[in-house]
């Protein structure tokens, strides 16, 4: 597996991953009716942001996007989002994407990375971020309507570089 | 003073308030180079969101916008932003806007209201929100570049209805 910048030819596979994640509805507060065009605008970042993929040959295993968390006076803090194809979970793809994203943000002089809405029942993501040094700064209770678990919390997670 | 829905004729005064707030750079993480068009898209909410003004006759004293904080599975939590004209501060305009926004959100069946980025040195705002029942759930340290105080924290504040 290697991590590289997103290329146009990756889009059909990236879109499939996004669709699966959005359809499952368990991890991202995205509109379930999101169109392909909306997904592109949401996921494919223009500079100063960046979108990457984890690939094995031509197969896209996962993808991440990153950039400033806020404009103006908040632009020195980065944010990122990660999605891993269902068939590729449990193989370290998320960890590789997370390492790449934090390295990129550090080398671009961001002061930290913030995740605004980590679903608390998404234990594998919460634990992965914690292993990479992120801390839960606060949790908005019952802020995410999980399809099977009802309303669960959204964590604000942060790593200062 | 009364609170009512934003009307097209209010825009020049609302834009002036936004410009002053963005130029001061002390309270909103907005791009200081924000154009009038970008400000309109940012501040004037289409349904299900809503933009209001506090007026005295034809004079706009302050303005607020509100709506769902996230799409999809997060859309049952509202958010809002408030700006008060410099000459009208200390007169309860912010409090009146805040009361109107939370009443609106409650009557539209939101489960709570979340403020994502309250600048910690903006004591009058933090205290006003606390008087209205909001709690600080967490603070991202040094996440806002204040023009005179350096990097200060951004509070995540929340009120569950």
Q: What is the CATH number of the domain that holds B88?
A: 3.40.630.30
Centre a 10 Å sphere on the Cβ of residue A10 and count the other Cβ atoms it contains: 20
pLDDT of residue A49: 98
Q: Which helix H or strand E contains A11, and what residues bound it?
A: helix A11-24
pLDDT of residue A46: 95
* Count of domains forming chain A: 1
Name, in order, each residue with C-beta under 8 angstroms of B146's C-beta and a sequence gap of 6 or more: A73, B25, B26, B119, B121, B152
CB contact (8 A) between residue B74 and residue A146: no
In the numeric block, which tokens belong to residue A18?
């996004």
- Chain A residues inside the 8 Å CB shell of B142: 111-112, 160
* Section A106-120 average pLDDT: 98
Q: What is the C-alpha to C-alpha distance for residues B18 and B62, in angstroms, rounded to an integer?
A: 10
Structural domain span for residue B120: 2-160
Exposed/middle/buried for A84, CB within 10 Å: 0-12, 13-18, 19+?
Answer: buried
Q: What is the C-alpha to C-alpha distance for residues B93 and B55, in angstroms, rounded to an integer?
A: 9
Complex ipTM? 0.94
pLDDT of residue A69: 98
pLDDT of residue A91: 95
CB contact (8 A) between residue A140 and residue B29: no
Q: Which of A116, A117, A139 sits opposite B137 (nearest CB)?
A: A139
- Chain B residues inside the 8 Å CB shell of A154: 74
pLDDT of residue A74: 97
Segments of chain B scoring below 50 in pLDDT: none
* Section A57-76 average pLDDT: 97
Q: What is the C-alpha to C-alpha distance for residues B83 and B39, in angstroms, rounded to an integer?
A: 13
pLDDT of residue B91: 95
pLDDT of residue B148: 97
Mutation for A interface: B23, B72, B73, B153, most A CBs within 10 A: B73
Please write the tens of the pLDDT for every residue from A84-103: 999 999 999 999 999 999 99
- Chain B residues inside the 8 Å CB shell of A42: none
Cα distances (angstroms) measured from residue A154 to each of A19, A41, A125, B111: 21, 23, 12, 14
- Chain B residues inside the 8 Å CB shell of A158: 140
pLDDT of residue B140: 98
Average pLDDT, chain A: 97
pLDDT of residue B60: 98
- Angle between helix axes B36-43 and B11-24 (nearest 10 degrees) is 100
CB contact (8 A) between residue B141 and residue A160: yes
Q: Which of B25, B29, B138 sits opposite A137 (nearest CB)?
A: B138
pLDDT of residue A35: 96
């Amino acid at each position: 597996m290697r991590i590289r910048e997103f290329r146009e030819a990756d889009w059909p596979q990236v879109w499939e991953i996004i669709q699966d994640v959005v359809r499952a509805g368990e991890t991202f507060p995205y509109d379930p009716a999101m169109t392909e065009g909306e997904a592109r605008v949401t996921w494919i970042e223009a500079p100063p942001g960046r979108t990457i993929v984890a690939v094995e040959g031509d197969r896209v295993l996962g993808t991440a996007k990153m950039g400033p968390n806020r404009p103006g006076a908040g632009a020195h803090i980065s944010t990122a989002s990660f999605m891993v194809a269902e068939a590729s979970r449990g193989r370290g793809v998320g960890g590789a994407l997370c390492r790449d994203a934090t390295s990129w943000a550090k080398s671009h002089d961001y002061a930290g990375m913030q995740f605004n809405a980590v679903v608390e029942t998404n234990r594998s993501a919460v634990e992965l971020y914690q292993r990479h040094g992120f801390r839960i700064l606060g949790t908005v209770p019952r802020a995410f309507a999980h399809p099977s678990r009802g309303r669960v919390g959204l964590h604000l997670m942060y790593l200062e570089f």
